[in-house]
C-alpha cells in the first residue's frame, strides 16, 4: 500500500483527567498519523475563574511525545488531541497540532483531520487583515478564520477573562452569550472553507465537533462517564471504555458544554465519504457511518471472489488491512485461508529510508512469508490496493521465494488512477501504476500469474450489504471526480 494515513482527532468534555483519557484514545488512533502528537487541555473547574488552556505537543508517536509526569501539568476536564500525518504543510513541530490561539478575548484550540483546497486564498485574505501564521498548515488557517469571525461578531471575553462581578452575577448567561458568538463564528468560518474537515475545537469551557458537508473524514460522538467524547473512529471511544452514541453527520456541528449537548445542522448534507476508510485507513474494530469496517472488508473479499475466481490451494492477506478481505475471499471461494505472511510490527515509518531503492527494500524487512504455509501451493494473495506497484512486485518475489508455485494477485479496491486532494497523501498521477498501465501490463510488471481488482460497483455493493442505507462515497481516486 502506498497511500499514507491522514490524521486522528479526539475531544473530551467533562471527564476527570481529560488529557490522560485523550492520550489513550489518541494511542488507538496512532495508525492515522505517526509524525506528531499533541493535547490541549483546559483547567476549567466550572467555577468560572482563572481557566486557561495548556498545550503539549511534539514530534513522533504518542508514546514518544508524552511521559507519565507530563500529565501532572495537564489537569483539567476539557481536552482535544491530535495525531498527525502531514498532508498539507511540512513535517515540522510548527505544524504539529492542536493549534492554540490566545488572543485578547480568550483562547481557542483546534485539531483538524482533512485537507482544505482553498487554504491559499483564505490565508492571503487573512494576511491582508494582518493575521500572522506560525506554521504552513491549512489547519491554522481554519483557526485564524474562526478567531477573525469571532472578533468581527463582537466576541466577548471567555470565562477565563470574566470579571469577578460577571462571575458572581450571571455566569451561565455570560457563558451562553460567548458560546453563541463562538458557534456563530465557527459556522461562518466552516462555510468559507472547502475541502475535507473533521474538527475538534475547544475554548476554556466548551467543546465543539464539526464534520464537513460531504462527511469525507469520519467523526463520531460517544459518552464517557458524565461527559462526552468526539473521535475520528469509534475504536478511540472503546479505548477509554466509553459508549458510542452516533456518527456526527455530514454538515453537522455538535456543541458540548455544561448541561448542554446540542446539534446544529449548518449545511445540507451531501455525503461523499472517503471509501478508502473502509478499505485501508480505519481500524477493523471501528464502525463508520453505520458500517463495521471489518465486516466491509469481509464483504469486499467475498465480492472479489465472485468477480475473479481462480483455482488455488490457499488464500492469504497482506497485513494488516488485506486480512479481512482475504478471509472473505476464502469464505466465498471455499479455498482455505492461511496466515502466509507475517508483518514485523516494530518497523518505523518507511520514509526514514532516504532513497526509493531503500524504501522498496523495506518491504523485505516489513513483510516475510511463512514457507510452511506456501511451499508448493497455488497462492491467492489479497492486498487492499496497488498504488505504485513496487510493494506488490516485492511481495510476489517474497511469495515465490517461499516456494509458491503460482501467485494470483487480487485487490480489494479498484485501480487507483488519480491522486487524492482531500487529506490522503498519494503519489502524483504519473507515479500511479494504474493511471499509466492496464491490468495485463500491471500483472506482468509485478510478476504475478494473474491479477484482478474488485469493480467499483462490487465495492459499493459490498458496503451496502453491510448497511442498506449506506450511500454517498467519494470515488475521486478511482474516477477523478471529487466532491469538492
Cell of residue 360, nine digits? 522498496
Q: Which of 21, 216, 326, 387 touches ligand SF4 by CB under 6 A?
A: 216
Nearer to ligand SF4, 13 or 281 (CB): 281
Chain residues 244-273 in contact with ligand SF4, contact rule CB under 6 A? none
432 binds ligand SF4 (CB under 6 A): no
CB of 319 to ligand SF4, least distance (A): 21
CB nearer to ligand SF4: pick between 216 and 369? 216
Strand partners, 13: 78, 228
Site string for ligand SF4, 276-315 (x = CB under 6 A): x---------------------------------------
Q: Rounded to the nearest whole angstrom, what is the least distance from the CB of residue 121 to ligand SF4 in the complex?
A: 21
Burial 398-422 (b: 16+ CB within 10 A, else e): bbbebebebbbbbbbbbbbbbbbbb
Nearer to ligand SF4, 26 or 422 (CB): 422
Residue 111 Cβ, how far from ligand SF4 at the closest point, in Å? 19
Name which of 35 and 384 has its Cβ closer to ligand SF4.
Answer: 384
235 binds ligand SF4 (CB under 6 A): no
Residue 352: Cβ within 10 Å count:
10
Q: What angle do CA 308, 309, 313 make, to 5 degrees?
A: 135
- The closest of 369, 456, 447, 360 to 413, measured between CA atoms, is 456
When asked if residue 424 is in the footprint of ligand SF4 (CB under 6 A), the reply is yes
Q: Which member of 198, 283, 476, 484 binds ligand SF4 (CB under 6 A)? A: 476
7 a catalytic residue: yes
Return the residue of 19, 422, 452, 466 that touches ligand SF4, per CB under 6 A: 422
Pick from 193, 275, 369, 404 the residue near ligand SF4 by CB under 6 A: 275
Q: Which of residues 310-369 bind ligand SF4 (CB under 6 A)?
A: none
The nearer residue to ligand SF4, 11 or 195, going by C-beta atoms, is 195
Residue 427 Cβ, how far from ligand SF4 at the closest point, in Å? 12
Closer Cβ to ligand SF4, 116 or 422, answer by number? 422
Which residue is listed with cell 501539568?
73
Out of 182, 274, 341, 466, the only residue in the binding site for ligand SF4 (CB under 6 A) is: 274
Q: Which of residues 391-420 bind ligand SF4 (CB under 6 A)?
A: 420
Q: Which residues are catalytic?
A: 7
Contact residues for ligand SF4 (CB under 6 A)? 216, 274-276, 420, 422, 424, 474, 476-477
Amino acid at each position: 500500500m502506498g497511500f499514507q494515513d491522514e490524521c486522528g482527532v479526539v475531544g473530551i468534555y467533562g471527564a476527570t483527567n481529560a488529557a490522560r483519557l485523550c492520550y489513550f484514545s489518541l494511542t488507538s488512533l496512532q495508525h492515522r498519523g505517526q509524525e506528531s502528537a499533541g493535547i490541549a487541555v483546559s483547567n476549567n473547574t466550572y467555577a468560572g475563574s482563572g481557566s486557561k488552556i495548556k498545550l503539549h505537543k511534539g514530534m513522533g508517536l504518542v508514546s514518544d511525545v508524552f511521559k507519565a509526569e507530563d500529565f501532572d501539568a495537564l489537569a483539567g476536564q476539557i481536552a482535544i488531541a491530535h495525531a498527525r500525518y502531514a498532508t498539507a504543510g511540512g513535517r515540522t513541530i510548527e505544524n504539529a497540532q492542536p493549534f492554540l490561539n490566545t488572543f485578547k478575548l480568550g483562547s481557542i484550540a483546534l485539531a483538524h483531520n482533512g485537507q482544505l483546497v482553498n487554504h491559499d486564498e483564505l490565508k492571503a485574505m487573512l494576511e491582508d487583515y494582518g493575521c500572522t501564521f506560525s506554521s504552513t498548515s491549512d489547519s491554522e488557517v481554519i483557526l485564524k478564520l474562526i478567531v477573525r469571525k469571532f472578533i468581527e461578531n463582537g466576541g466577548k471575553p471567555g470565562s477565563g477573562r470574566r470579571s469577578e462581578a460577571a462571575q458572581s452575577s450571571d455566569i451561565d448567561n455570560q457563558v451562553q452569550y460567548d458560546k453563541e458568538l463562538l458557534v456563530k463564528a465557527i459556522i461562518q468560518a466552516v462555510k468559507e472553507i472547502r475541502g475535507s474537515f473533521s474538527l475538534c475545537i475547544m475554548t476554556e469551557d466548551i467543546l465543539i465537533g464539526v464534520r464537513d458537508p460531504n462527511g469525507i473524514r469520519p467523526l463520531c460522538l460517544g459518552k464517557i462517564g458524565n461527559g462526552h467524547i468526539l473521535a475520528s473512529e469509534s475504536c478511540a471511544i472503546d479505548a477509554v471504555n466509553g459508549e458510542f452514541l452516533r456518527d456526527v453527520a455530514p454538515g453537522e456541528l455538535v456543541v458540548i458544554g455544561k448541561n448542554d449537548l446540542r446539534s446544529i445542522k449548518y449545511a445540507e448534507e451531501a455525503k461523499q465519504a472517503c471509501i478508502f476508510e473502509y478499505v485501508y485507513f480505519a481500524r477493523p474494530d471501528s464502525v463508520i457511518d453505520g458500517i463495521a469496517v471489518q465486516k466491509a472488508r469481509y464483504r469486499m473479499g467475498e465480492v472479489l471472489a465472485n468477480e475473479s475466481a481462480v483455482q488455488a490451494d490457499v488464500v492469504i492477506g497482506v497485513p494488516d488491512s488485506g486480512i479481512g478481505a482475504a478471509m472473505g475471499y476464502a469464505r466465498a471461494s471455499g479455498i482455505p485461508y492461511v496466515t502466509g505472511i507475517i508483518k514485523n510490527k516494530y518497523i518505523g515509518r518507511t520514509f526514514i529510508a532516504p532513497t526509493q531503492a531503500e524504501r522498496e527494500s523495506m518491504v523485505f524487512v516489513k513483510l516475510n512469508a511463512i514457507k510452511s504455509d506456501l511451499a508448493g501451493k497455488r497462492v491467492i494473495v489479497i492486498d487492499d490496493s496497488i498504488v505504485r506497484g513496487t510493494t506488490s512486485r516485492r511481495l510476489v518475489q517474497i511469495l515465490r521465494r517461499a516456494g509458491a508455485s503460482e501467485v494470483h494477485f487480487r485487490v480489494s479496491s479498484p485501480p487507483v488512477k488519480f491522486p487524492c486532494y482531500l487529506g490522503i497523501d498519494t503519489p502524483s498521477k504519473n507515479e500511479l501504476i494504474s493511471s499509466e498501465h492496464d491490468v495485463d501490463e500491471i500483472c506482468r510488471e509485478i510478476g504475478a500469474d494473474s491479477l484482478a481488482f474488485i469493480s467499483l460497483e462490487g465495492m459499493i455493493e459490498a458496503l451496502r450489504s453491510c448497511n442498506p442505507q449506506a450511500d454517498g462515497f467519494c470515488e475521486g481516486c478511482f474516477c477523478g471526480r471529487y466532491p469538492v
